[in-house]
Structure 1
């Protein structure tokens, strides 16, 4: 009897997962509905704060990057109020690991406030400057390249997520302060990560050296024998590229590299989108988990929409963006919570109807904000 009940429960669970992610009207985008969904997501997240380490950590950085993009698209003061409140209560601090890219992600929101609030001396950018100077110009163990662990911590940004956390901040800081040296340093370290983790054949990034294909028996593989490429990990990079290009000078000498990389990834991400609109946590082995995931999908949808809006992608990408948004919206609870977010991790894992994280809400806001700009 117990086995029968368990089997029935499992069937119902998968039915509910499938139903929750069913997409209808994939070609219809209601911008008033998008705005409403975004505000509900913000209000729920603000009322239910969650972070990994501290209010200045990378999870909050990613979430408030979404709030930044929402304000940039709508100019609704509810988003600016949330941005100012967190910056003020954080005393404009970064987190404490000066050589860890994650710990400066929060500064993207501080820079945006300083550039758009209109009041002098409200934002204190000195902690951000202190972090960036130490991060770029001080020696540390990773830069020495002496780490022999499986992670391959032999460069400053040794994991692909880092390309979302620090480069957009450095790029925006260079723009805001008119100091191009920060952009040049960003490019130097970005190229190190690209050269180590980008798979030119697959047009995707390995999360870290554990997942770089070496062609031997120790390689980490998916059950189907494919290489391991994590959806959110590539979402970090892909969305980060859109953020970088958004603020990078049009005549910057290395801009063509970022545009070409963006287009390569866009082409691959488009091919990998499932019919229901949500990318699976494992991009090359989607059958590992028979459901979509919101954080990676939100970042992919945002980045694709950004490319359409900025002339880097043609109209063939529009259906994917619309399908992606409708699928994301289907994962939002009635109270505003954004579900189906894989928890903090470093490789493909499952999500659920009730699983949420603040960075998932950030991805949701980023996607909605860019779709609002589409014609």
Structure 2
């Protein structure tokens, strides 16, 4: 009897001890000081290891500094503001050069944000951004008028990544200038992309026309026979929607479309989260590359946490997924601050590795952290 009592006491103590540890871990997941420290460390490493696809104003840099901007918005930490000021000043506030390509204005999100928040109002020059936007959405071109020779590129934003690159910039510019006409034009081109690329059965976006199913034997398929839906591609869209809804007026006539699309995609993405907490590069065939990937997962974590924080998603349903995702993301950060497990530049599901990194992966991590900071356990 004594032995049995001792065993019971030891077992109870172990259970209590485990529960305490488990609760401590749960509490520490959203510890604000730790989350911010992790974000700062990621920024410091990335600033010390600059990388770009083409130029200091290209889309990879633009996506990274969008993450830096949201990190500053959430923390007001001067290190994020300094990074924004330095890159803008060094770029002379320029966009990249392809006026009809959404990628080349992504950098302007950080410029506009800084102009809206930095006390010195003559510091940022938004003239290059203004000129780009006017040309991009107001001047006729072979994409906007549907005369492009390549049938897969017969709309202005013909690839889903574009819905992160240009619309949040146009939306923020409209807010900054108080000119709602920009939103109306943005909505027109957004609907073109939605009607072409959104799969209403799967509630996911095809990356571009090559991946749209037509019922033909030539349709692109995963090894398991399912449609090809790229994690980062849909991450671009869902996180872009969160950015848009952050700054779009509550009474804007077309806002309900974006709210409904956001909620629909968020529900589908929740279903596709893997046991590890991350999402794999192929959403419907995760076994193709049997590991998580950080850029798509970072964008999803940001978007889902944003939905909880803004009352658009049910906290009881989505918070466990965000918690699981953030824990998994932090495990992909190296001790020196580098964010690993990022799929390299691409347009469809490909593998990543512990040592693979890109600046937009760091941007996704900072976006995720910017909303995780606001969560309560």
Give me the TM-score of the superposition, normalised by structure 1.
Answer: 0.92
**Cα pair 1:26 1:326 within 8 Å, conserved:** no
The CA distance in 2 between the partners of 1:110 and 1:100, in whole Å, is 18
Q: Residues 54-87 of structure 1: CA distance to partner in whole angstroms, max 9, x if unpaired? A: 0000000000000001000000000000000000
> Equivalents in 1 of 2:335, 2:278: separation in Å?
19
Q: Give the Cα separation in 1 of the matches to 2:287 and 2:105.
A: 35
* Ranges in structure 2 where 5+ consecutive residues have no aligned partner: 1-23
Structure of greater Rg: 2
1:205-251 Cα shifts (integer Å, max 9, x gaps)? 00000000101111000000000000000000000000000000000
Q: Does structure 2 retain, via aligned residues, the 8 Å contact 1:26–1:323?
A: no
Alignment RMSD (CA, Å):
1.1
Contact 2:62/2:110 (<8 A) preserved = yes
User: Could you tell me how far 1:141 is from its partner in structure 2?
Assistant: 1.8
Give the C-alpha shift of residue 146 in structure 1. 2.8
- Preserved CA contact (<8 Å) 2:30 2:375: no
| Secondary structure at the counterpart of residue 144 of structure 2 | helix
Q: Deviations over 1:334-363 (max 9, x none)?
A: 000000000000000000000000000000
Q: CA offset at residue 140 of structure 1?
A: 1.4
Partner residue in 1 for 2:11: none
Q: Larger deviation: 116-125 or 296-305?
A: 116-125
Structure 1 partner of 2:306: 306
Q: CA deviation at 1:29?
A: 2.7
CA contact (8 A) 2:30 2:373 kept: no
2:113 corresponding residue in structure 1: 112
Q: Which residue of 2 aligns with 1:16?
A: none
Shift of 1:118: 1.3
Alignment of 1:168-207 (within 5 A): 168-207=168-207
> Which residue of structure 1 aligns with residue 319 of structure 2?
318
- CA drift of 1:97 comes to 0.3
Residue aligning to 1:262: 262
**Deviation, structure 1 residue 101:** 0.2
Equivalent residues in 2 for 1:155-234 (5 A)?
155-234=155-234
The equivalent of 1:277 in structure 2 is: 277
For residue 120 of structure 1, report the CA deviation from its aligned partner. Answer: 1.9
Find the aligned partners of 2:258 and 2:47 in 1 and give their Cα distance.
Answer: 34
Shift of 1:36: 1.0
1:197–1:209 CA contact under 8 A, matched in 2: yes
Q: Distance in 2 between matches of 1:143 and 1:182?
A: 15
Give, in whole Å, the separation in 2 of the partners of 1:277 and 1:26: 15
Q: State the alpha-carbon separation in 2 of the partners of residues 71 and 180 from structure 1.
A: 26
Asked if 1:337 corresponds to 2:338, the answer is yes
Any idea what SS the aligned residue of 1:127 has? helix
Q: How many residues align?
A: 351
SS class of match (1:374): coil
Hey, what does 1:64 align to over in structure 2? 65
- 2:319 and 2:198 mapped to 1: Cα distance? 26
Matching residue of 1:137: 138
Normalised by the length of structure 2, the TM-score is: 0.92
Task: Please list every run of at least 4 consecutive aligned residues from structure 1 whose deviation after the TM superposition is greater than 6 angstroms.
Answer: none
Contact 1:197 1:205 in 2 (8 A): yes
User: How far has the Cα of 1:25 moved from its partner?
Assistant: 4.7
Which position in structure 1 is the counterpart of 2:44? 43
Q: Are residue 372 (structure 1) and residue 369 (structure 2) matched?
A: no
Shift of 1:148: 4.4
CA-to-aligned-CA distance 1:163-191 (integer Å, 9 cap, x gap): 00000000000000011111111101000
| CA displacement at 1:31 relative to structure 2 | 2.1
Question: What is the distance in 1 between the residues matched to 2:304 and 2:121?
Answer: 35
| CA–CA distance in structure 1, aligned partners of residues 295 and 231 of structure 2 | 8
